[in-house]
Amino acid sequence: MLPVDAGLVRRGTGIVKQRCAKKTKSARCESSKPPIASPENSKSQSTMTFNLSIPTPCEALAVEFDPGETVIFVGANGGGKTRLTVHIENSLGESAHRVSAHRALSMNPEVQKISERQALSGLRYGYPGNASKNAALNHRSGNRWGNKHATHLLNDFDYLIQALFADQSNTSLKAYHRHKPGAPHSEDSFEITKFDKLLEIWNRLLPHRQLHISGDNITVSAGGVGETYPASEMSDGERAIFYMIGQALVAAEGTVLIVDEPELHVHRSIMAKLWDEIEATRRDCGFIYITHDLDFAAARSAKKYVIRDFSPRPHWAIEEIPENTGFPEDLVTLILGSRRPILFVEGTHDSLDYAIYRACYPEWTVVPKSSCSEVIHSVVSMRANASLTRVTCSGIVDGDDYSDEDVAYFEDLGIKVIPVSEIENLIALPVVCSAISESDGFTGTDLQKKLDDVSNAIFGLLDSDEKIDKVVARHCQRRIDRMLKQLDFSGSTSSEELIQDYNTRTANLDVPGIVEARTREIKAAIEQKDLATLLRYYDNKKGITATLASVLKGTRRENFESWVIRVLAANSSSGIANAVKGVLPVIEAR
């Protein structure tokens, strides 16, 4: 029996009741009726709460959040995400400010300067005139969105620049009148401009790029020294950061900022910090992010929902990310946000395991876990968890000397075992070495010589009884460790019974027999030059990989592993990837 502790299967199997939609007093099953924004969204209320009602196939989904809180909707492309942003914007009315994924980032700091009121009106409604508040909101559909709310290219960077310059002008003028000679003493605190706030955030995010803001222009320099250049010549990422910070700063108090694809053009290294800064500086606002980026969604603290499907009626099939699943929230987000089955594997995101499995199982979402026991726990927990049962999953683990009984147990759990001791050994199999050598131009007798060199070098790693014995000793240690982990002494009620139970249960462990059998198997593989069989027993990942690196590529182990990862990531249908696929087990979603 597999050496998994008795509590492993029981842990993480708590059931979370599956709901078609979250029910609240405001939720109605009459999803065909157009939902309206709650009166609680009025900006005159200091303790306002934002309420959304989203049509679903059955009951409407009620989403409630306060200023300073964030809601994230994650879904695949084509899943109705943008249309959901349109629905939310229309529901919230005056309280909403939506930033489309289709946004132009052409920046012109020298744009004609206009009044702050006109600039803000143009930014929020696409109409810079002096229309009344209601008229301005009515203008939003046609002027800001061109009556094509989901597909229109949002081009409001000029209005944003104008609003920031107008704020700077008005704030500076107030300060002048307050402190000019002869002005009456004022107790009012000094007011900084929105440009000042933008610069503070910018400098924390991009200290190597210095913005220089004058009364009518913006220039940039590298590190604050040397020649300046126009801000319009900044990179897409820099302009995107400026744009997003600016949009948040000029938003009206009590606004819900709806951002479609907040990760667009922003480098991953600063993405989280960017939105941390923006949210921190606008705690009076609510934030809604709509994204297909699972990493972005998983990394943020928020109420999270997964968009499963969309119908033009309109309604959306939406699920809230559940709690108490036995999984970390980031993993639950990844699981529910993926349209593919989940494959749990050993390794880390930067390991060879992960690269191999992603290339060889492209129809799966590969999730690395730290160990075999973690893979088992994840598969068992996910299959037992009611809130995740509609998502199929499987697992795959290293050979690690598992017995036929262990392999059969794994199969029952939905976990496959690779045909070698460790994942690195797959690369040493003749069919994979052949594909690598062929990619380097080896053919015929030259190819066979290269394969013989690989085989002889690996067999040479076990050229003494002492070296073989070390492999056998590690094998015995694993067998003993697994057996001890399976022992259950809960029925022993006294020390005498415990001693007797221990002696009885461990008496069947024939360590000398295990040593003899494994030694015989390894020596037979060496004598018969059976490399594939040896790789089932031989656990020396560093030694084997270093040998492959030297013989196949004439390089160091680290460089060779990096090369393999790059090759597999670049082309999952290459000859090398296909060779690895051919020796891995077939896995079916279930």
**Structural domain includes residue 251:** yes
Q: What is the pLDDT of residues 57-98, one digit of tens each?
A: 988 999 999 999 999 998 877 789 999 999 999 999 999 999
Q: What is the pLDDT of residue 573?
A: 72
Domain end among 334, 354, 384 = 334
Question: Whole-number mean pLDDT of the chain?
Answer: 85
**Structural domain includes residue 442:** no
Q: What is the pLDDT of residue 4?
A: 40
Residue 238 and residue 126 share a domain: no
- Cα(131)–Cα(128) distance, integer angstroms: 8
- Residue 95: Cβ within 10 Å count: 20
Name the residue range of residue 202's domain. Answer: 50-100+154-179+190-334
Paired with 278 in beta bridges are: none
The one-letter amino acid code at 314 reads P
Q: What is the pLDDT of residue 462?
A: 95
One DSSP character per residue, 1-69 reads: -----TTTTTTT-------SS---TT--S-TTSPP---GGG-TT-TT--EEEEE--SSSPEEEEE-TT-
- Contact (Cβ atoms closer than 8 angstroms) between residue 116 and residue 166: yes
Residue 142 and residue 73 share a domain: no
Determine phi and psi for 256, rounding to 5 degrees.
-100, 115
Q: What predicted TM-score, i.e. pTM, was given to this entire model?
A: 0.64
Q: What is the pLDDT of residue 33?
A: 40
N-to-C CA span, the chain? 23
Residue 268 and residue 230 share a domain: yes
The one-letter amino acid code at 376 reads I
Residue 124 and residue 247 share a domain: no
**Structural domain includes residue 69:** yes
Q: What is the pLDDT of residues 194-213, one digit of tens each?
A: 999 999 999 999 999 999 99
Residue 219 and residue 119 share a domain: no
Residue 138 and residue 174 share a domain: no
**Structural domain includes residue 75:** yes
Q: What is the pLDDT of residue 387?
A: 66
Domain end among 296, 316, 334 = 334
- Contact (Cβ atoms closer than 8 angstroms) between residue 317 and residue 57: yes
**Structural domain includes residue 358:** no
Q: Please compute Rg for the chain using Cα positions.
A: 31
Query: Pairing relation of β-strands 209-213 and 218-222?
Result: antiparallel
Residue 61 and residue 172 share a domain: yes
**Structural domain includes residue 326:** yes
| Structural domain total, the chain | 2
Domain end among 301, 334, 367 = 334
Determine phi and psi for 487, rounding to 5 degrees.
-65, 135
Residue 218 and residue 132 share a domain: no
**Structural domain includes residue 45:** no
- Cα(395)–Cα(409) distance, integer angstroms: 13
Q: What is the pLDDT of residue 503?
A: 86
Residue with tokens 């900006």: 43
Residue 138 and residue 69 share a domain: no
Residue 170 and residue 246 share a domain: yes
Q: What is the pLDDT of residue 78?
A: 78
Residue 327 and residue 198 share a domain: yes
* Residues lower than pLDDT 70 in the chain: 1-47, 130-135, 224, 323-329, 386-389, 590
- Contact (Cβ atoms closer than 8 angstroms) between residue 547 and residue 562: no
Residue 314 and residue 202 share a domain: yes
Determine phi and psi for 310, rounding to 5 degrees.
-140, 140
**Structural domain includes residue 524:** no
Q: What is the pLDDT of residue 403?
A: 85
What is the domain-level CATH number for residue 169? 3.40.50.300
